[in-house]
Structure 1
């Protein structure tokens, strides 16, 4: 189902008669009117997150307006009601019954319209729910009361009908208000992007709409202003506040070559920035789209709740009919039997079941986004509570990945600088952290690199190519066919020329700050924690002992990591894999839950279900703590929704009427509305 960006109604994409493609995305509309409104000002509705926020604001305003008119119409209905007359207040006006019927009809049409329209939509989708039940209650009450008034036989429920509609509108008004607050953080993130930018062109600076910026544009960002687009600093130095985007609490220093994120706040220096992405392509917009997709998708537990809500609705319709028949067969007055039937339909609340999971999902999506956690799939909410085993990649995840060459041991007549030159010439074509360290060492020593032909790379093994007419390979000792002759717990690579060893380069990296604390937190939470690495046994053992891991696996190829995860899964474990999202893609896909740590603004990693933006190992236990709290809230909401229906439906049917306990239509509406509000508010308590 899609959401109409104008009015917020759900629209079946396959059956939609009105749709429009705008900026590469198809939008669906419930009516021609909404399509025309969208066409007048698409930007009003298409900025990420604004469509949904605007739709809920529209609903909120509509309920407020209808509640106001319904309360006005309720006043004469109350004055003409038998209840007021029993209190000694008599209002004698000509055609009082006709006036009562007129005001009640207007109230039924004005106040009941959103419920009747919603019921039609549910029936069209073949998914009857709350709207069908509420419409059943108000329709039966209205037509039975109208018949009784016109025929002069039986009691009328016009007062009860008015109170029922008023309470339902009030409940939905409160619910929509809380719901809008749940979306407010998304709106605030989007609003971080400024509307205008200072474009630098031909030596001049002019203000232009930020959405008009394109890749390669150069913009000036003054102190105290927000960066209008994602890009790289060209000139200037400053500190930038990224706390609302990445969760980084301290200002981040920026200099030429530094990446900046659109929406971040420039603090104390002017910056010239080359735009890499603007508008809908910025990090902020992409996160917002993911949040929107997360909200619109359904998890397994949510689909189950929807099925339960559907069958609850069908059952309640049957129970309502049986209630009417049972009371009539017992000799009760028709008015009492009809009221019990309507009360059962009104008090039942499949809507609470339908809201139980989505409201928690809405809340966790906004909470996670400001904690540098991007959840890409709603299924994460299903899987994460079942995870019992967490597997980390080593390099760049538990360790810094910032390798430093600590030893070059030449062999077979080669000089150390020659070994480094050959290795660096090849590694200049590789993005691996070890490759970058070797190239950096060569540059620091002032060693010129040689031209390379026929470069090939085998993930987890090494690189090969033709350098100055010779075949050079740089690989792990395991795959070079020889053992290194250096005694070290560092990472070693063997350089070979024409199949003969030329030397060994030894590098070291350090355990990340916070890694030990993160592992300790995870173990306290009951997880078993392992490490996978393609590095040597000695290196893996040193890191595993320092972090006090439950186990480790060393000297692995990428496919070996997949095999180990499969083996853990075959033993009944639910496995989460933590890696960088690039070199660990197969393992991330194989794991029950794939998490990319330290991905920065690259949230489009296909292999990851979750992206942890900041390169901080403590985000891992923080994520799992949030997921545990989320699962607990889901269970609380589902338990409340199920328990509420189990108690209130029998009461509404009148099982305790013999002892004076009767749920009126208005009380049923109040209970039903409060049930929804409680579910929504409970979700907001998630911190």
Structure 2
């Protein structure tokens, strides 16, 4: 979307005029004071028009001041209105994707417990126990069937089935994604379309509360709240405005008294009315107070939210985007973030009397009901390496699901055999509890694979360890360079993995992270975050599973995957619609760009004011305080030209800075010291030099036109 598209400009101009209403503008104290001053200036000018003795030169000067004071307020409103217009245009585009679709809702009495095989039963007997209802009538907990070609009627979680889903309506990415029950990629978004197969979905969002609805409300500004830093800066700007307001108001009786006093001296130079007329005092106030950053502050915040949304990130508040720029520590999952994706089984290694094919059969039997990618890869490897033995659990087998606490899964067979598969320390502990014997060299084998960055899982039958299966990861290309960029920004990176310490250490060294959490449990993640926060650091983490929810809620910035569980999405304060684990790095960059833009324009605004002082103060008071001529370094044509030039520059600099406020200052991964030096050198020095040049050029143009 072009920044200055004609439709956006028209909408912003209309909105800028509407925002002149005091009940809207009072939320921006700096510009509200400018508006009140402008109204007083217009009243004073109107009085001078009808009062006798007013010259055309005086009236021309007063009217010009009034016009440029009004334009100052309009330009400030236009900056915020343009940012809002971009959001509304994006909201309109999202609305086109939202549609009321029919939903095939199951008639089940207890939606909290889904009967096994519900999906298959419905597919065998179509329409036997469903109601077709509009998607707007769905409630959280309802179960719906969605088949190929149909639109998913609401946000939810897949409870049965696997399907290819087109999420381009939400993410803009045309490539379909796979969503399946079990694991951490079970979440689906309303408005997306199923391309193949069928899924049974439990609705998790009420009508009007879906992610699409929240995105629309957010980009329209309805859900935007000012961030703590933005509020703090607004208070500082308001304090400056109040101080200068008191000073300027006090100047009126002082200037009037000085004029009367000087008239009593023979030969005294006749004083002009500068300092005793309202428009000039208002012009002085406008040039003294920080109008530039006051005009652009809201636009900067809105634009930061807009950049997050364009990156397919839903922030529950503006604070989340802002906190991203202050983060000190990043917790990153190894799988999918640091490595290419899901680990895959590559070999079966016997540790006792069994052959490798027999170890593979036991591993596959224990993984038959394992819906995780790792479990599926074990079954696939066994099928490829052993054609004679089929890993088909007999009827009556009881499967033991993997949990973050036990870190094991397995199966209890009807013939009494008990098979377990899991992390080495968990399986060893389990076997010892069964009074079993650990084969010699088990630790050496485990450590050997782990030291090479592989993940060995032990296989136990009964109370005996019979072998292990090796899972391997591959680092993402360029990941080490990305971590180096974060290090230059002063951010520590921490890898979170369920691997044993040796494997974790090996991969951490290869990837170049600063620290790692091995054999991570929900409690371990939570404890690490609390330890970092106790040290005064801000912590960000990304997660997608229910077991990530406590840590996501505890972290200062919790980014949940849209494909993840509802618990994770509720716990986090930001949701990544792309479900891209590497997005956390972009989140930090978006936050830092917001802070850099606000800091740069604040520095520029304050430096701007310094230059305007040298233009307007000597011109205003040189008549009563002749020594001020010594600091009249700009040597402007006349006092009225100096004041008018400063006001004109103060007005036109606002629209000139709008593109920077909306697009953001160019981001560079540098530390705080380097960033401060850059701000002072570029924006500070530039903020002093540019007004000197600009005001002098305007003064020269006024002189040429005869208005000086």
TM-score after normalising by structure 2: 0.63
Q: Is the 8 A contact 1:305 1:353 kept in 2?
A: no
> Structure 1 regions of 5+ residues with no counterpart?
1-53, 67-112
How far the C-alpha of 1:523 sits from its partner, in A, is 0.8
Kept in 2: contact 1:396–1:580 (CA 8 A): no
Q: CA deviation at 1:667?
A: 5.6
Find the counterpart in structure 1 of residue 71 from structure 2.
Answer: 167
Task: Give the match for residue 501 of structure 1.
Answer: 464
**In 1, distance between residues paired with 2:375 and 2:500?**
17
CA distance in 2: counterparts of 1:320 and 1:197, whole angstroms? 62
In the TM superposition, what is the alpha-carbon distance from 1:255 to its structure 2 partner? 10
Could you say if the C-alpha distance between residues 354 and 450 of structure 1 is closer, same or farther in structure 2, counting changes exceeding 3 Å? farther
| Aligned twin of 1:337 | 276
In 1, Cα distance between equivalents of 2:607 and 2:145 = 60
**2:175 is the alignment partner of 1:251:** yes
Answer yes or no: is the 8 Å Cα contact 1:533–1:553 preserved in 2: yes
Residue 311 of structure 2: SS of its match in structure 1? coil
Cα contact 1:294–1:376 (8 A) shared by 2:
no
1:300 corresponds, among 228, 232, 237, to 228
| Aligned twin of 2:572 | 608
- CA shift at 1:581, angstroms? 5.4
CA contact (8 A) 1:403 1:434 kept: yes
Task: Tell me: CA distance 1:166–1:179, structure 2 relative to 1, closer, same or farther (3 Å).
Answer: same
Structure 1 pair 286–633 and aligned structure 2 pair: CA distance change class (3 A)? same
CA separation of 1:261 and 1:457: change in aligned 2, threshold 3 A: closer
Judging changes above 3 Å, is the alpha-carbon distance between structure 1 residues 286 and 439 closer, same or farther for their aligned structure 2 residues? farther
In structure 1, the partner of 2:523 is: 559
1:183 aligned onto 2:87: yes
Q: Deviations over 1:556-610 (max 9, x none)?
A: 4443344445555667765543444543444445555444468469696244344
Structure 2 residue 10 is the aligned partner of structure 1 residue 138: no
Q: CA contact under 8 A between 2:65 and 2:647: conserved in structure 1? A: no
Give 2:425's match in structure 1, choosing from 473, 478, 483: 478
Q: 1:183-332 alignment to 2 at 5 Å?
A: 183-184=87-88, 186-195=90-99, 197=101, 240=166, 242=168, 245-246=170-171, 248=173, 250-252=174-176, 262=190, 280-289=208-217, 296-331=224-259, 332=271
Q: Distance in 2 between matches of 1:392 and 1:575?
A: 11
Cα deviation, residue 639, structure 1: 1.4
Report what 1:680 is aligned to. 658
Aligned position for 1:370: 310
Determine the C-alpha separation between the residues in 2 that align with 1:519 and 1:557. 25
SS at match of 2:82: helix
The separation in 1 between residues aligned to 2:199 and 2:37, in whole angstroms, is 61
Match of 2:483 in 1: 522
Contact 1:562 1:586 in 2 (8 A): yes
Equivalent position SS for 1:401: coil
**Structure 1 residue 180: Cα displacement:** 3.9
Secondary structure of the corresponding residue to residue 367 of structure 1: helix
Q: 1:262 to 1:60 in 2, by over 3 A?
A: farther
Equivalences for residues 425-464 of structure 1 within 5 A:
434=374, 445-448=391-394, 450=396, 452=398, 457=403, 459=405, 461-462=407-408
Which residue pairs with 2:474 in the alignment?
511
Deviations 1:424-460 (A, max 9, x none): 48x65xx766566668889972224645599894536
Aligned positions of 1:6-155 closer than 5 A: 60-61=13-14, 63=16, 114=20, 116-118=22-24, 121=26, 128-143=29-44, 145-146=46-47, 149=50
Deviation at 1:193, TM superposition (A): 1.2
C-alpha separation between the residues in 2 aligned to 1:580 and 1:270? 24
5 Å matches for 1:382-461? 382-399=322-339, 400-404=341-345, 406-407=347-348, 409=350, 416=359, 419-420=362-363, 423-424=366-367, 434=374, 445-448=391-394, 450=396, 452=398, 457=403, 459=405, 461=407
Alpha carbons 2:237, 2:290 under 8 Å: kept: yes
Q: TM-score under structure 1 normalisation?
A: 0.65
Shift of 1:508: 1.0
Kept after mapping to 1: 8 A contact 2:80/2:299: no
Aligned partner of residue 569 in structure 2, secondary structure: coil
For structure 2, the residue ranges without an aligned partner over 5 or more in a row are 1-6, 106-125, 260-270, 384-389, 433-437, 623-634, 667-708
Q: Distance in 2 between matches of 1:556 and 1:273?
A: 32
The CA RMSD over aligned residues, in Å, is 5.2
What is the number of residues matched between the two proteins? 567
Shift of the 252–386 alpha-carbon distance from structure 1 to 2, 3 Å rule, reads same
Q: Secondary structure at the match of 1:583?
A: helix
Q: Partners in 1 of 2:104 and 2:556 — Cα distance?
A: 48
Once the two structures are superposed, residues 528-548 of structure 1 have per-residue CA deviations (whole angstroms, 9 ceiling, x without a partner) of 544232312342244334434
Pair 423,57 (structure 1): closer, same or farther in 2 beyond 3 Å: farther
Change (3 A) 1:520 1:586: farther
- The Cα shift of 1:314 comes to 0.6
- C-alpha change, 1:580 and 1:643, in structure 2 (3 Å) is same
What is the Cα deviation at residue 135 of structure 1? 0.8
| Contact kept in structure 2, 1:241 and 1:264, CA below 8 Å | yes
